[in-house]
Structure 1
């Protein structure tokens, strides 16, 4: 059997798109597909539309005529990473013969939807229906097909998909000319021709539209233009159809003139499923009445926001012919106004009675917020009410406004609202209008009164932010320095306002490399100095201040203190500890900060502060709060993580810790949390707290935190995190000048080094640790270090030396002594004997360990079952070995160690494969691959790549 991949559709499913950037969506969220190479892999498989894609096709798409030596392995790695992204959305990846296969249904693949809409659009379909279906098809495009992919394969297929788009435009314009909408075609077709200048059918339709509108000279001029273009660029004459149209115009053929319109009114198409930039809805076929058109210009460099705009489209679709109210909310500088304007312009043609706009000045430098009374006066005059007839008083004005718009279809954009009171009187009472509101707050009274959905805007993801930056500084500069561009985006916190400021500076200094811009940002990271501009509207510090100044004294103080948290997010207990307040009171203050868009509750029970807002709050704290108050807040923060982490560590690993016995500071809030879940939620915050402790001079807390987090990170296979945390702990211990702490920290650094394969570094650190423990007279420390030294020898394959070390230690712990210590050593003895081929001895020692199971941590029991399985396989008892490996896997999974479970499955697969039990070996490998594909970290990624190679090695053996 040849290894390959099939992605099956299941009920939940993933939606795929190639008519724009290559993307996939699940549950309304865009999936992170990774590098352009991985997106190319997915695109190739998708564009085969249900046919098998060979590895050779993929190699040709990625590397053209020059694939590297490891091309097949690299492709398998890319497929494995794609699988990890797609499977949570309901897709399953399995092997098939000959290559790779993906079968998304027509409703889940944008190209299939396009083909479905455009199939059979000929003269048998009424022209209004043809026009509507063509516009709906064009709305599926999200930009240039296969955007972001490079190489000859992408260029060829991009051209083919672009041809489909051009052909659909031709169908649309031909249908609209049949209906008699030649004026609309004249307005829209030049932009399309600029994209497809050599499509003669488009030129033919343009010339016909001009002629039918009575613009005969313009039609003849358009023919001369295309004739000259084709002659100069291609050296050819126009095709016969275009030449014939020219001759018919010259002789003023009456059959070219428009026929009387008898077609029914078109049906508005459905709002597109996704938030891709849509082609305008079908034009009205009657002359529009006089209307206001107050929308400011659409943003010229808008990118992304697909999920949010898709949600807005769904709200609009659900409203049908009723009034719709949509609220975009989010922190200052996140792009609320740009998003609202972009969406409003996209929909403007659907609201034939015009658009009204006002900046309510809820937050900003422009003075007091606008009152509803003032806004209504302006709106009424815009709707044709003479100034002398505008009534006095907000109630009378609101009633007049509602009466005027009751039977109209209008779009209102109410930008920058501070409170619901600014908005409620500006809402139509009925009709088919759309009201778009932007606010930093959540406007609860408006939501309750109108059931308006809140659409929160967070800083865009990495790809969207990079696209925004590239649009401002030039794609060529970003392609030339991708690492620097990535760093700039992250140093800006992906905040659109900050990106715009930095991009403006970079564009003005085109001679500077982007690396220099990134260096400038790094030098000021943690402050807002790099983002200052003279115009305060574009200064993040000023923009943030408008939100901060709108809240009360208590929430303001809470914001300053919480900004000392190093991130990435925090729970209510650490927030309460920092504020020295009860959890219930802390929740109230957090709710106030969420309402002010200074803090986000990004998942239930976890709050997040944007990096630039945190920098702003930290500046405020340094200016307004006493240094002792700041230090006390940091001490309580670190105390929370140290004590909560120590409790979870001791429960998870069933041991007693004695790190000094100090009590947490008054005000620190500790709760009884399930340890595995606590670590899963908090390990990144723990690492940030460790870094903070080291930077702020809390050395004792730094090295203690490094010990608290070590074993959890190890069991998750997050070995780079282990390495960083233990190195930070050692540096803090040395600064603290305490040899016991230094010995323990060196032990931790050795632990990290051995995990990373740096065995000599591990031995160096262990020798230092052993000397320190001997000087201190710490017998337990000496023994643990000698035991670990034997373990490193074992990892190096020096099994006889390791066995001698283990046996010397075992002599210190005869039967009947401390079972935990004896079991720890017996595990090493058993493993070394297994590696030396002494399988029966290994099983005897390992079963003694199993007999102590009640005294041991489940991970040690799982390790031992894995060793027994290896020894049983060595003796040829494969059924017994399978049972032992499965026991290990079950224990690892029960205690949330998926990487270790995958390792045991890999060992099982190795044993089965060696015995030519290929189907069973493949099943074990694939089960292991599923585990690591759903697990983060370099260890999981490395194991996944190894499993892919092992699977490929089974090819043809089944």
Structure 2
């Protein structure tokens, strides 16, 4: 009889009658692994697609998976036995049916269950023996060698089951008095898992029984130092009790052997805890808290088939964030895999809301995804995020959302996750499409408002002046934010009576009666003024000017530029504002402002500062960004033809960047503010800044694959340059729009923009600009396989660069000539031109041009049959592109590197290069991904 066996407790292996069955390719291995870890459970087609492609799947993903399932069926159909494993189709899902004895994980679980029954029956020795037999089934880490978020999560679950079985077995053996036998094993396990308290407790018991009290205490001390130092936690109560018993050398140590269980263990994966601090004295909202409690997951998770979502809606200042954070902190123990939080700034009065891609970047950072593995594209980031949260139990709080589209990419798919969203709008789209449960938040009722004052000020003080307290509540219109600020005013002035506070509110320009209006931006003006009036005059001025800043947050140099003061003066002013809780330092040296406070600051600067002063501050801020962006751009590509920018205004803090790495970091952090500054410049009459800022950001946006923001910025730049009738600005904007249109596969638009750019560059006599456009037109012609026309453009570019005396441009044009000759089949001439270009690039130190030329030379050598030289050239190009952060060019060269490896009979190396290329192109959302994916399918 045929016997098929499957092994996942180690590397994935299949055998038939004890002979190995060969699995073909990673896709087949991944699909079979997922079906095995879900044996006898239906697995949806979407999940199978996700396990093969961690990020954006190809358009043919469904068909490819179905074909692979068919191949697996044929592989398993190796005999006529009716009980042989089968893959059944169930609707849009697949189920692998097999007996528990055919899967080592099933055998393992059966033996663990048997051991637990024996232990419960008092047969400790037999239970320990059964667990030892079960553990011998393991050959290494589960699913060793298979990568991907879904499979890694499944492997982590299996590995945790193994660790739990080891701990249970050791506990039984300690009960049987085998402490001398297990000390060595426990010592090794604790070294591997130093924060697993149960193992440490077992080691402490074994050491104590062996007469090694000092070593037992030292084991506890090492654990405590690690927990406190790494997590800020103390060991659990049971382990502390065991430690006390050993310290006193009490007989109760033996009684504690089975209770040295972990109160806290460190996970092998990141456990973020991003919730803000709970509101002290939070009060009211009893019914709303009950509504949120209904969302809590079962234990273990059950019922829901997807993440459960709650959408808290209400006006500004009504306490949406306070409710979400308070509830989250109250139930955080129900989410052992952590809590994620982001303020989406959906109703920020000045500047842009947080883009879902930015929010996902923060979440992926919190989940310990290395920066190099974080995709650029929104869809790819969202897919990676959902994969990481699969099978985790996490709370996700999305605060201050603008609309449903802003939050949809941030919604996990795991049924163990819960999502709480706050917004001023009722997110009806989420309620209808995603089944979100709306929670409507209104003003405090009178009892809740009174309770809040009691919590903040004390029952005695409020009870002593009931009428004054009632007036404060009335003038605050029971708005929680206003009540909180009013209570803070009273708390910081304990000598003031509540009657005095009520009188201040009455006299403050109509007091807080305005809180009953529908405009929350003005509701708290008088309340905010209390904090504002206590500032020094320089801090007040800086606070007002912050209302002019368009970005979500601001750096110290940008704030210095706004105020026109040195960094050394700006820092203490920012610290003063932070202490007054008018801004927060959310990251070292970066400050953010609540949206209502920003609106208040904006109002103040328009009522308190002269028009000329405001415009001067805006000018300094835009100069700060323009000079910083141009300096960073120069470090990214020193041979890019610079534009002329005016000197910075007095008082502008100009960024001092040392190298390429610092420039990349600066752009990465500041690009949201730069994009907002481009819009603000165009809106406020600083059109020259608008198009120049867009030019300065273009190279970074292109290299990092941010096509849509790049296109939007250049459209703004073009409109600004047109208003100025600035032909040079229009030329640069048209050229940049042409390049981004190629990346977006809008070739006709690209050609039209580049023709316009050529017209304007001719009009201003910019030979280098005309030459660059010819290189771009060459690129388009080559994409359309019009290689003779492409060669004409390349030659024209070389001629123009020579006339202009531009050596860097000549080198790049020579390389382009060589590149086109490759496509014309003239590879010998390609080598000649390419070698000339390479020498010139290396002479002037142009690493970008050198990378391009190594790629061209690799192509020529490949087609001349010089296989080794070809691979060497491509590898040099890939290395340079990676160092320069130019991802799409890296992917382009990796594709050709794969071709070269394939030509010399190295299919594994070829597939590796193509896979890396597809991964980058998919992350960038580039249309060239599908042709490269086709190479993987066909070879």
What TM-score, normalized to structure 2? 0.51
Tell me, yes or no, if the aligned pair for 1:699 and 1:735 is still in contact at 8 Å: yes
**Equivalent residue number for residue 873 of structure 1:** 862
Map 1:886-901 onto structure 2 (within 5 A): 886-901=875-890
Tell me, yes or no, if the aligned pair for 1:706 and 1:725 is still in contact at 8 Å: yes
**Post-superposition shift, 1:880?**
0.6
**Equivalent residue number for residue 604 of structure 1:** 588
For residues 867 and 673 of structure 1, what CA distance do their matches in structure 2 show? 32
**Equivalent residue number for residue 711 of structure 1:** 699
**Post-superposition shift, 1:719?**
2.2
Q: CA-to-partner distance for each residue in 1:131-176, whole Å, 9 max, x for gaps?
A: xxxxxxxxxxxxxxxxxxxxxxxxxxxxxxxxxxxxxxxxxxxxxx
**Post-superposition shift, 1:622?**
3.0
Tell me, yes or no, if the aligned pair for 1:332 and 1:547 is still in contact at 8 Å: no
Asked if 1:648 is matched to 2:641, the reply is no
Asked if 1:102 is matched to 2:142, the reply is no
For residues 273 and 304 of structure 1, what CA distance do their matches in structure 2 show? 29
Root mean square deviation, CA, Å: 5.8
Give 5+ residue unaligned stretches, structure 2.
1-7, 12-29, 53-57, 68-140, 176-254, 273-281, 297-316, 335-384, 412-417, 439-474, 483-519
Asked if 1:678 is matched to 2:679, the reply is no
**Equivalent residue number for residue 747 of structure 1:** 735
Asked if 1:801 is matched to 2:797, the reply is no
Q: CA-to-partner distance for each residue in 1:374-404, whole Å, 9 max, x for gaps?
A: xxxxxxxxxxxxxxxxxxxxxxxxxxxxxxx
**Equivalent residue number for residue 306 of structure 2:** none
Tell me the SS of whatever aligns to 1:679: helix
Structure 2 CA distance for partners of 1:843 and 1:97, relative to 1, 3 Å? same
**Post-superposition shift, 1:268?**
9.2
Asked if 1:549 is matched to 2:539, the reply is no
**Equivalent residue number for residue 588 of structure 1:** 572
Q: CA-to-partner distance for each residue in 1:628-677, whole Å, 9 max, x for gaps?
A: 33222211111111112122222332248664452111110113213333
Asked if 1:71 is matched to 2:59, the reply is no
Asked if 1:938 is matched to 2:938, the reply is no
For residues 626 and 604 of structure 1, what CA distance do their matches in structure 2 show? 32
Tell me, yes or no, if the aligned pair for 1:691 and 1:702 is still in contact at 8 Å: yes
**Post-superposition shift, 1:734?**
0.7
1:698 to 679, 686, 703: 686
Q: CA-to-partner distance for each residue in 1:791-844, whole Å, 9 max, x for gaps?
A: 322232211111123234445666996432321221221111111111111111
For residues 637 and 947 of structure 1, what CA distance do their matches in structure 2 show? 45
Structure 2 CA distance for partners of 1:103 and 1:565, relative to 1, 3 Å? closer
Asked if 1:759 is matched to 2:702, the reply is no
Structure 2 CA distance for partners of 1:661 and 1:501, relative to 1, 3 Å? closer
Tell me the SS of whatever aligns to 1:549: helix
For residues 406 and 772 of structure 2, what CA distance do their matches in structure 1 show? 45
**Equivalent residue number for residue 907 of structure 2:** 918
For residues 931 and 512 of structure 1, what CA distance do their matches in structure 2 show? 32
**Post-superposition shift, 1:735?**
1.2
Asked if 1:666 is matched to 2:653, the reply is no
Asked if 1:575 is matched to 2:559, the reply is yes
**Post-superposition shift, 1:576?**
0.8
Structure 2 CA distance for partners of 1:666 and 1:948, relative to 1, 3 Å? same
For residues 559 and 468 of structure 1, what CA distance do their matches in structure 2 show? 29
For residues 41 and 410 of structure 2, what CA distance do their matches in structure 1 show? 41
Map 1:291-690 onto structure 2 (within 5 A): 297=286, 299-302=289-292, 335=321, 339-340=325-326, 343=329, 483=405, 486=408, 502=424, 535-537=478-480, 541=521, 549-550=530-531, 552-553=535-536, 554-611=538-595, 613-655=597-639, 659-674=643-658, 675-690=663-678
For residues 843 and 914 of structure 1, what CA distance do their matches in structure 2 show? 19
**Post-superposition shift, 1:295?**
10
**Post-superposition shift, 1:557?**
3.2
**Post-superposition shift, 1:688?**
1.6
**Equivalent residue number for residue 903 of structure 1:** 892
Structure 2 CA distance for partners of 1:301 and 1:612, relative to 1, 3 Å? farther
Tell me, yes or no, if the aligned pair for 2:51 and 2:149 is still in contact at 8 Å: no
Q: CA-to-partner distance for each residue in 1:884-938, whole Å, 9 max, x for gaps?
A: 00111121122222332232122101232245420111232345467678xx643
**Post-superposition shift, 1:724?**
1.6
Structure 2 CA distance for partners of 1:737 and 1:918, relative to 1, 3 Å? same
For residues 669 and 704 of structure 1, what CA distance do their matches in structure 2 show? 18
For residues 295 and 866 of structure 2, what CA distance do their matches in structure 1 show? 58
For residues 271 and 798 of structure 2, what CA distance do their matches in structure 1 show? 67
**Equivalent residue number for residue 263 of structure 2:** 270
Structure 2 CA distance for partners of 1:839 and 1:92, relative to 1, 3 Å? farther
For residues 506 and 814 of structure 1, what CA distance do their matches in structure 2 show? 60
For residues 107 and 755 of structure 1, what CA distance do their matches in structure 2 show? 42
Asked if 1:786 is matched to 2:766, the reply is no
**Equivalent residue number for residue 771 of structure 1:** 759
Structure 2 CA distance for partners of 1:865 and 1:739, relative to 1, 3 Å? same
Structure 2 CA distance for partners of 1:906 and 1:820, relative to 1, 3 Å? same
**Equivalent residue number for residue 107 of structure 2:** none
**Post-superposition shift, 1:582?**
1.4
Tell me, yes or no, if the aligned pair for 1:740 and 1:776 is still in contact at 8 Å: yes
Give 5+ residue unaligned stretches, structure 1.
1-5, 10-40, 77-90, 126-262, 278-292, 307-330, 349-460, 490-495, 518-531
Q: CA-to-partner distance for each residue in 1:164-211, whole Å, 9 max, x for gaps?
A: xxxxxxxxxxxxxxxxxxxxxxxxxxxxxxxxxxxxxxxxxxxxxxxx
Structure 2 CA distance for partners of 1:788 and 1:852, relative to 1, 3 Å? same
Q: CA-to-partner distance for each residue in 1:452-507, whole Å, 9 max, x for gaps?
A: xxxxxxxxx9999997799x99xxxx9xx954875999xxxxxx9x965736x679
Asked if 1:828 is matched to 2:816, the reply is yes
Structure 2 CA distance for partners of 1:300 and 1:719, relative to 1, 3 Å? same
Tell me, yes or no, if the aligned pair for 1:8 and 1:102 is still in contact at 8 Å: no
What TM-score, normalized to structure 1? 0.50
Tell me, yes or no, if the aligned pair for 1:720 and 1:938 is still in contact at 8 Å: no
Tell me the SS of whatever aligns to 1:570: strand
Tell me the SS of whatever aligns to 1:602: strand
Tell me the SS of whatever aligns to 1:806: helix
For residues 906 and 863 of structure 1, what CA distance do their matches in structure 2 show? 14
Structure 2 CA distance for partners of 1:299 and 1:114, relative to 1, 3 Å? farther
For residues 803 and 92 of structure 1, what CA distance do their matches in structure 2 show? 55
For residues 94 and 945 of structure 1, what CA distance do their matches in structure 2 show? 30
For residues 62 and 103 of structure 1, what CA distance do their matches in structure 2 show? 11
Tell me, yes or no, if the aligned pair for 1:713 and 1:719 is still in contact at 8 Å: yes
**Post-superposition shift, 1:344?**
5.5
For residues 893 and 143 of structure 2, what CA distance do their matches in structure 1 show? 22
Structure 2 CA distance for partners of 1:626 and 1:333, relative to 1, 3 Å? farther
**Post-superposition shift, 1:740?**
2.7
Structure 2 CA distance for partners of 1:44 and 1:946, relative to 1, 3 Å? farther
Tell me the SS of whatever aligns to 1:825: helix
Structure 2 CA distance for partners of 1:944 and 1:769, relative to 1, 3 Å? closer
Tell me, yes or no, if the aligned pair for 1:50 and 1:101 is still in contact at 8 Å: no
Tell me, yes or no, if the aligned pair for 1:578 and 1:636 is still in contact at 8 Å: yes
Tell me the SS of whatever aligns to 1:884: helix
Asked if 1:852 is matched to 2:840, the reply is yes
